[in-house]
Every structure is written in C-alpha cells, then in structure tokens.
Amino acid sequence: MGSVPGPAAGTTDAQTTPTPPPDAVGRGNGGAVPAPPGHVALIMDGNGRWAMARGLPRAAGHSAGAEAVRRCVHAAISRGVGYLTLYAFSSENWRRTPDEVADLTSLLRYYLRHKVAELSREGVRIRIIGDLSRFDDDVRAEAKRAEDVTAGNRRLTLVLALSYGGRADIMQAARHVALAVRDGALDPERLDEALFGRFLLTADLPDPDLIIRTSGECRLSNFLLWQSAYAELVFLDTLWPDFNEQHFDAALDVFARRERRFGARPSL
C-alpha cells in the first residue's frame, strides 16, 4: 500500500474556519461598495437546456457555457474575489452518453491547451480538484501543466472541480484518516473538524463564502458538501450560457445583504 498523504503542507486551522465579512451596504443602495466574498463557487447548470431551446446540439451549449466561464473569471477578478471554484465536470457526468462525455472532455482539453497562457497573463492561478484518473493521459498532463505554469500567480485562484464529487471527497479523506490512525501517525483523540479538513482535496483552500447555482435548480448536487456548511446559497433562474457580470453582481448583492452568524444569535 502506498504512503498515506497527511495534512497539506502550510495549512492552518484558520483556513478551514469561516470568518464573517465586514459589515457593508449592498450595491446600489447609496452606500459604500461592500467587500466581496473571499471565495465564490459556482454550479454551472443549464447548458443542455440552453441548446435545446435554440434547436442546437448539446455541444453548442457547452461551448457557449465556456464563454460564460470567461465572463465569470473576469467578473471575479474585477470585483476582487480571491478564489473562484467552478463545478466544471462532476463525478456523475461520466453517466452521460459517450458522445456528450467526449464533447465535454474535448472542450476541456482545448481550454487547458489554449487558454491557460491568457489566464496566467491575468494573474490567475489554476488549482484542480477531483479524480483525474478517469481522464485520458493527455488531459491529465494538460491539467498538471496548467497548475505548474500558473503556480506563482496571486490575483485569483481559479479552482476547477473535474470528475469531482463531494461524497467521494469526504470518503477519500476518511480513508486517509483511518490509515493514518492505523499507522500510528494520527491520534484519533486529536481529530476535530479542522484537522479532518486537512485531508480533503481542498485542504489548501478556504471554504466557500458564496455558492451560486444557475438554471433555477435549488440543490448542491454533490458539490463541496463538507466545505459548504456555512456558505450562503444563491439560486438564479438564468441558464449558464447566459450568465454575465450583471448576474455575478446580483449574487454579490444578495450575499452583501445576508447576515452570517455561524450559529451565533442575530445582531439587534
């Protein structure tokens, strides 16, 4: 059996403990522009329905959705968001037809090969989470290259969740914890939420402050289940290919008006 990965180097308990944003007035209310959420995560839903409504193949919806990703990244940068996580390919997406899976992986391969340099010039660091073993060798190689090429950038960390599932993430963390206990590397009495979080695929990332889902669906669909415990959830009726900076701002407005108490009593 291979070595058991322990907590990610350089992580601290503070990285897994949410902290409320400073008080602020929402956009357009005559007050100061509020501080943005530090970490925004998106469930990008509606590509197929967008294409169907236009009599187009589903592949056209995925291509249009890729353009929405570009708009979203630029919006995050311009609004000062530090982390942006995109649910780009879920573990359940492998159940789709072989043709659609091929379309999705082909689009992913194209963007990893041809768009990383542009993102790097904008100061974007790419992080990838998920079970990449299910992708072809060339996709895995491009994913690693994207992370390596952009590793020094600090303007925005763009996290791509590829072949990712929240339950699988928790399960792999539990296995690693069990192995660490078995091997004497971890005292089970020391295990708490913060330490467990270091075994997740997101160990070096802060938990999301805001999760946005498009297309009118109101569920997480196995996305960042542990990490979303205190996230604010915003559901938009907009189909993902139509998502733009105005929709991004609308979600930030909702977030700014929410009171995040993390279990404490509401302020008076």
Annotated binding site for substrate: 46-50, 58, 62, 90-92, 94, 96, 213, 219-221
Residues forming beta bridges with residue 231, ordered by sequence position: none
Positions at the binding site: 45-50, 58, 62, 90-92, 94, 96, 213, 219-221, 232
Q: Checking DSSP bridges between strand 210-213 and strand 39-43, what pairing results, if any?
A: parallel
* Catalytic residue check, 45: yes
Spot the catalytic one: 13, 23, 93, 242: 93
- Let me know the angle formed at the C-alpha of 213 by 212 and 214, rounded to the nearest 5 degrees: 125
Is the distance from CB of 39 to CB of 81 less than 8 angstroms? yes
* Catalytic residue check, 222: no
Q: Checking DSSP bridges between strand 83-90 and strand 232-235, what pairing results, if any?
A: unpaired
The residues near 240 (Cβ < 8 Å, ≥ 6 apart) are 44, 45, 46, 47, 50, 65, 68, 214, 215
Positions at the binding site for Mg(2+): 45, 232
Spot the catalytic one: 29, 45, 137, 207: 45
Closest CA to 162 of 139, 184, 187, 191: 139
Q: List, by residue number, the catalytic residues.
A: 45, 93
